[in-house]
């Protein structure tokens, strides 16, 4: 559980940094708003932080 929270925070931070440093003005749907970038980054962090099935 701590892993998912940590990756979500890292992903949200990365999304904001992407918006701040690289993002475009009006044409990009994800990077035109900081909220969209943060949500997209947090979602990517959740996906990366989710535990996979362990093989036996």
Determine, yes or no, domain membership for 31. yes
Whole-angstrom Cα distance, residue 1 to residue 28? 33
- What DSSP string describes 29-53? TTTTSHHHHHHHHHHHHHHHHSPPP
The tens digit of pLDDT for each residue in 10-19 reads 999 999 999 8
Determine, yes or no, domain membership for 38. yes
Determine, yes or no, domain membership for 56. no
Domain count, the chain: 1
pLDDT in 10s for each residue of the chain, 56 residues: 788 999 999 999 999 999 898 877 777 877 788 899 999 999 999 999 888 777 66
Determine, yes or no, domain membership for 54. no
Residue range(s) defining the domain that contains residue 34: 2-49
Give the Cβ contact number of residue 56 at 10 Å. 3
Position 56 scores a pLDDT of 66
């Amino acid at each position: 559980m701590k892993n998912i929270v940590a990756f979500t925070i890292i992903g949200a931070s990365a999304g904001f940094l992407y918006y701040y440093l690289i993002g475009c003005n009006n044409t990009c749907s994800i990077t035109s708003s900081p909220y969209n970038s943060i949500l997209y980054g947090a979602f990517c962090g959740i996906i990366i932080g989710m535990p996979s099935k362990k093989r036996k």
